[in-house]
Structure 1
Amino acid sequence: MLNTWGIDKQQVHVILRDNARNMKKAMDDMGVLSVGCIAHTLQLVVHEGLLSQRSITDTLANARKIVGHFKHSPQAYARLEDIQIDLKMPVKRLQQDVQVRWNSTHYMLQSLLEQKRSLSVYAADHNLAATLTVNQWTLMEKTVEVLAPFEELTRVVSAETATAADVISAITVLKRVLSREHSTDQGIKTVKSTLLEAVEKSFSQVETEPLYCIATLVDPRYKDRYFTNPDNLRQAKDALIQEVGKMEVRRAASEESEAEPVNKVPRQNTASSTLGSVFDEILEESETETGSVSTSSADVQMQSYLAQQTIPRSDNPLQYWRAHATPFPSLAAIAAKFLCAPCTGVDSERLFSAVSNVTDEKRNRLSADRVEMLTFLKKNLHFILK
């Protein structure tokens, strides 16, 4: 594919892949840097740390049977809608979870909890494929509560504007949320503890991955505030200094290469997020910390940048670097390089869906080249129209 698009392998910054071993092996054999999809890893943590428990598995099995009962019977859905109207409840349909669709289990449990009253009335007069006990309803409420931060962070890292710089901060915030004990319920504490262990195990190397740590440092929204391990932060700064040195050599050879960073779509405002206060809290704790005194040119440039105040999370980091390219030219060039890499494969998944919409049963004689051109236009035309 690189040859098809005329891209030299040396120009590849990173390839985002799934977590399959054969994909990791392929990227290693090709000799290019690659990282796995963060959203996929988050969902693996949820399934291995929470949804694999026997009591939750049994509850989910009954929940799927109930949702399936209505999905396969329009008559049953019509009866449920009548009950919702009689109870003056919003008319909503139950959501079915799909294993390959992230957060779908969370949405299914939410929809069932919202319709608990209407489902109880329906079960009094009609047969259901399964029933939920009082303990299972309680367990569903606890599961939704625990899954809420995972659902929100999955949406954050899956946004079109999310980059590799969002990874370390997201994992740090998730650990902070899971380690807090707001609830007195021992069951929730145990579940959170299990999930925290799974997160620490799955993301143990996230702060040592050069792509993530350098991208985080050059993102003016995060800088060095979200590193949890001082040794990892020290290594990240050393890696950034090395990149600054390399960039200064390249800039000396070609001064025109970093004239203007690439425009990016402004980030969505996430200040109202339920996890926003945790992001701000970590920033405030880190503002009082001071770095070591630096002597080299790269050190001075990096420390001067890190000493400045972070910008709001709703701001566009590339707009910041456009305004600060003069005092920090090498860092601005590094930011343009490292802040372009996405952290999830959501866009690729959406591309697969776009292809299925371009070619279907009524348009099954399109040539492969024509399908490729139509798909390319569908995914990129809006950039030109803007």
Structure 2
Amino acid sequence: MERAKESAVWRYFTLATPTSSSAVCNVCKVNVSRGGGITAKYNTTNLIKHIQKHHAKEHAEFLQLSKTKGAENTAQQLTLQDAFQRREKFPAESLKASAITQKVLEFIVLDAQPMSVVEDEGFRRLLEHLEPRYSLPSRKYFSETALPELYKKVCEHVSKEIKDIQAMSFTTDIWSSAVSPMSLLSLTVHWLDTSCTARGAMLQAKNFHGSHTSDTIAAAITDILDKWHIPLNKVHVILRDNASNMKKAMENMGVRSLGCFAHSLQLVVNEGLLSQRSVSDAIAIGRQIVGHFKHSPLAYSRLQDIQLQMQMQPKRLQQDVKTRWNSTYLMIQSLLEQKRVLCAYIADHDLPSTLTANQWALLEKTSIVLAPFEELTRKVSSSTASTADVIPAVTVLKRILAKEGDADTGIKTMKKTLLQAVNKRFDTVEDEPLYALATLLDPRYKDRYFTSAQSAKRAKDALTGELEEDLRRSTAGASQAGPSQAAEPQEKFPRVEAAAPSSFMQEFEQIVEESEDPGAASSSSPAVQLHGYLAEKTIATSDNPYQYWGVNKYRLPCLAATATKYLCAPCTSVESERVFSTVSNIVDEKRSRLTAERAEMLVFMRKNLPLLIK
């Protein structure tokens, strides 16, 4: 009866009950017998004859529907040979089986899954359901055969990508596992390709034994560079933390290096604000309050009830990490958002400590003062940030902290203290060639953000000298390459209209407006190219500086070549820290016995496999 009910004729008839001996015509409302004496012998013959005799239009529709449905059923029906083939397993070396095995391995690598996932019942049942003809290889096969093969393939791809790059920048850091006796030293590489697109890869997370002295660090990094056949003359700069052993290691290697800008900001905030006794006391109490709710499910449940009573979205308080000042800022923000809720909680329940009215006010002021620092930290920690962002960021910070207004009541001392810390920590930033030349070569900034005329002049002179030296070195090769390509007009980039920009970004635009000097010029001479480039208007801060050079590399060839070198450098060592975030997901408590060599292989492919599969 169920198969009969699938017939298209039932679009035109209705049954009172599933076992009714007759059906009601939906067109003329006549009862039509279903034939047969018992339920098992009911059929649709009489129904079809009825619409054929009395309803010609509906019968024509029925014939068309029946034809379509029959074609679908035919397409879905398997031949006997196909049915038997579907029960046979793929040969292990077949293209289909190899492709599925490859995707399983990519799943393990990209999602940081343990090798044991191929032995999990749920995963095996899933594959069996999706493709019964596929036999899942053993864990040993994935670990000892498939993984090394893919690792070799990814290594070859990365090596090919960086083979002809003339200038590369690097980040490095050291990480120690909390669940196993393992330390790793990371090295990531960054460059601009021929189309001026920012590229990056992870070279290694090297097993790092022994004491972390400058000599051992230098030796480890040198080993990695040698493994990838990268000579020191291709190393533009290495971004590191501010530890003395790291700084000395770079000096021992004879390469240029810079401290992590985000780490320097951390020191500025700690020295300029969080070290103040009144602020640190208020933050310590806030930390105790957050910790109380974090470690007591009952307390959090009560807090959630109060949030619902006040018609607020239930939200957890944010715990900070002392080594990340921006996490302290986020903790303060979460406390201020829940101030009314916390006050209501205190009325009926105990807390390990409470904030006074003065301390609440102090936290509000601290939050206001730290907002630009938090925005700047996010900006420089992005994957697109470069050394060109440092001088403009410091200039903007100084201007914001030096400004006084009616809204500054009660926070003037805080701002003054932070300004002193910024001046102390970044006093010589404009005299660092790696920062100064990168800023000049960024079409969003150029020379508009230098606070010292002398520093700006030194930077321009240094850039002119480097341009002329680069031109001299490339003259022989350029003369053999034939006539140079005709200069192209500058590409016009539409400015992106940002809705309600923050005070931090408004300050960027204000500096540009104050120093803009429109004009244009171009010539094959590096000095004239630089003069014309600096005279042109800057592009919007929201535009892509790499895209600018990709378009204008034929019009300003000398500048574009140098920009490719200086703009490939990040301004923080965040990329290396992101490597270790990946490592911590791989080397966890469930895989604490994972060897350092296997961890290296897994994290290398986790970071670089997307380069290959894309």
**TM-score for the superposition, normalised by structure 1:** 0.92
Indicate which of 501, 509, 514 corresponds to 1:285: 514
Q: Which amino acid aligns with 1:383?
A: L
Distance, in Å, in 2 between the alignment partners of 1:188 and 1:381 is 49
Deviations 1:94-114 (A, max 9, x none): 011111234011001100000
2:418 corresponds to 1:195? yes
Deviations 1:44-92 (A, max 9, x none): 1001000111111111111111111101101100110010000011211
2:271 corresponds to 1:42? no
Distance, in Å, in 1 between the alignment partners of 2:266 and 2:564 is 29
Instruction: Name the residue aligned to 1:332.
Output: 560
2:228 corresponds to 1:12? no
Task: Give the percent of matched residue pairs that are identical in Structure 1 and Structure 2.
Answer: 59
Instruction: Name the residue aligned to 2:601.
Output: 373
**Cα shift at 1:22:** 1.6
Deviations 1:143-162 (A, max 9, x none): 00000000000000000000
Q: For the structure 1 residues 69 and 362, does the alpha-carbon distance in structure 2 shift closer, same or farther, using more than 3 Å as the test?
A: closer
Distance, in Å, in 2 between the alignment partners of 1:321 and 1:251 is 19
**Cα shift at 1:366:** 4.2
1:14 counterpart SS class: strand
Indicate which of 344, 355, 380 corresponds to 1:157: 380
**Cα shift at 1:250:** 2.7
Q: For the structure 1 residues 237 and 342, does the alpha-carbon distance in structure 2 shift closer, same or farther, using more than 3 Å as the test?
A: same
2:319 corresponds to 1:91? no
Q: Is the 8 A contact 1:17 1:37 kept in 2?
A: yes
Q: How many residues align?
A: 375
Q: Is the 8 A contact 2:439 2:445 kept in 1?
A: yes
User: Which deviates more, 184-193 or 138-147?
Assistant: 184-193
User: Which deviates more, 320-329 or 272-281?
Assistant: 272-281
**Cα shift at 1:347:** 1.2
Distance, in Å, in 1 between the alignment partners of 2:544 and 2:316 is 37
**Cα shift at 1:314:** 1.8
Q: Which amino acid aligns with 1:18?
A: D
Q: Which amino acid aligns with 1:119?
A: L
Q: Which amino acid aligns with 2:516?
A: E
**Cα shift at 1:198:** 0.6
Distance, in Å, in 2 between the alignment partners of 1:223 and 1:242 is 17
2:363 corresponds to 1:140? yes
Unaligned runs of 5+ in 1: 260-268
Deviations 1:107-135 (A, max 9, x none): 01100000001101111111001011000
Matches within 5 A, 1:42-81: 42-81=265-304
2:239 counterpart SS class: strand
Matches within 5 A, 1:286-365: 286-288=515-517, 297-365=525-593
Q: Is the 8 A contact 2:391 2:439 kept in 1?
A: yes
2:454 corresponds to 1:228? no
Q: Is the 8 A contact 1:81 1:91 kept in 2?
A: yes
Indicate which of 138, 144, 167 corresponds to 2:390: 167
Q: Is the 8 A contact 1:103 1:151 kept in 2?
A: yes
Distance, in Å, in 2 between the alignment partners of 1:253 and 1:371 is 46
Q: Which amino acid aligns with 2:540?
A: P
- Higher RCO (CA-CA < 8 Å; seq separation 6+): 1
Give the strand-richer structure, 1 or 2.
2
**Cα shift at 1:246:** 1.8
Q: For the structure 1 residues 358 and 18, does the alpha-carbon distance in structure 2 shift closer, same or farther, using more than 3 Å as the test?
A: same
**Cα shift at 1:372:** 2.1
User: Which deviates more, 222-231 or 21-30?
Assistant: 21-30
Instruction: Name the residue aligned to 2:338.
Output: 115
Instruction: Name the residue aligned to 2:350.
Output: 127
Distance, in Å, in 2 between the alignment partners of 1:336 and 1:270 is 28
**Cα shift at 1:383:** 3.4
**Cα shift at 1:4:** 2.7
Q: Is the 8 A contact 2:517 2:536 kept in 1?
A: no
**TM-score for the superposition, normalised by structure 2:** 0.58
Q: For the structure 1 residues 295 and 183, does the alpha-carbon distance in structure 2 shift closer, same or farther, using more than 3 Å as the test?
A: same
Deviations 1:161-193 (A, max 9, x none): 000011111111111111111245543111101
Q: For the structure 1 residues 6 and 364, does the alpha-carbon distance in structure 2 shift closer, same or farther, using more than 3 Å as the test?
A: farther
1:165 counterpart SS class: helix
Q: Is the 8 A contact 1:271 1:313 kept in 2?
A: no
2:461 corresponds to 1:238? yes
**Cα shift at 1:294:** 12
Q: Which amino acid aligns with 1:24?
A: K
2:333 corresponds to 1:105? no
1:99 counterpart SS class: coil
Q: Is the 8 A contact 1:324 1:332 kept in 2?
A: yes
Q: RMSD between aligned alpha carbons?
A: 2.3
**Cα shift at 1:271:** 4.0
Distance, in Å, in 2 between the alignment partners of 1:377 and 1:233 is 43
User: Which deviates more, 210-219 or 359-368?
Assistant: 359-368
